[in-house]
Amino acid sequence: MEDIASPTKPASPTPAEAMKDFGSFLSEALEGVAAQEQNVQSMNSKFMLGEVSADQVMIASEQAMLSLQLTTQVRNKVIEAYQEIMRTQI
């Protein structure tokens, strides 16, 4: 008789694993924002040398600015969630 594999549900992560995953996600996101900032600085230098156009510099600048704004909004939401948890009475 053949073994019929029953579909298994993926194991839900433990709270510690979820925090590690969230922490690594945030770390990667911040590294991405920093990389975009460095890209903008590089593009500015190249623009001064005439190697890239003003359009390319503006696009890179806008992308970096939007990433920074998103990071700020995520930080604000995390702080709000923390404050809400601290106000919760046990």
Number of H helices, E strands in the chain: 2, 0
| Spans of all domains in the chain | 26-87
* pLDDT tens-place values along the chain, 90 residues long: 555 555 565 567 777 777 778 788 888 889 999 999 999 999 999 999 999 999 999 999 999 999 999 999 999 999 999 999 999 887
Query: What pTM was computed for the model?
Result: 0.68
Rg (CA), the chain: 22
Angle, vertex CA 31, rays to CA 80 and CA 64, nearest 5: 80
Confidence (pLDDT) at 25: 84
What pLDDT is recorded for position 13? 72
Cβ burial, residue 52 (10 Å; 0-12/13-18/19+): middle
- pLDDT for 19 equals 72
User: Tokens representing 53?
Assistant: 């156009």
